[in-house]
Amino acid sequence: MTGREQILAALEAALAYGDTSVIVRSSGAIAEVHGLLTLRQGTEWVTLGEEGQTHVHLKIEEGSKLLYRQQDEANAALEFIGADGDLLCRVTFRGTNQAKAEHYSPERAAKIRERFSGLAEGAGI
């Protein structure tokens, strides 16, 4: 998925599921933020969370894409990929990792898979 509006709509829908983590990576640091529920569009940056509280700013670049992934022994996630192919940010859906049976919710995992599997690599979108 590469269209700005499509990316924003999917990110907003992902945050609305609640119980998510937003993970931002750089070569020297990883930040993990829990409980962000809002998305606000600026001219250049998108804010996940509320200004004045814990939040993340994302720069939605032309050529970026959003992919859905469900790997073994990991929570389902939407991955925001930069134009150069680097992973910029990941929204993970806690409770969707089958390997952690004590926290796994099959109903939640199925709903999230149904909503976002069209964004999986090779899904034709």
Residue 122 in this model has a pLDDT that exceeds 80: no
pLDDT band at residue 125 under the 50/70/90 scheme: very low
Mean pLDDT (whole number) for 73-83: 92
Q: pLDDT, tens digit, for every residue of 55-68?
A: 999 888 766 889 99
Query: How far is residue 93's CA from residue 96's CA, in Å, rounded to a whole number?
Result: 6
The reported pLDDT for the residue numbered 3 is: 82
The ranges assigned to domains in the chain are: 4-116
pLDDT tens by residue, 15-65: 999 899 999 988 889 999 998 889 999 888 899 999 889 999 988 876 688
Inter-residue contact 24 to 56 (CB < 8 Å): yes
Cα–Cα distance list, 76 to 4, 6, 32, 114 (Å): 22, 19, 15, 12
Neighbours of 49 (CB within 10 A): 19
- pLDDT score at 25: 85
CA 124 to chain centre: 19
DSSP character for 118? G
Q: Which two tokens stand for residue 100?
A: 């952690």
Task: Identify the CATH assignment for 4-116 out of 3.40.50.450, 3.40.50.300, 3.40.1570.20, 3.30.2320.50.
Answer: 3.40.1570.20
**Residue of higher predicted confidence among 54 and 124:** 54
Is 1 a residue whose pLDDT tops 60? no
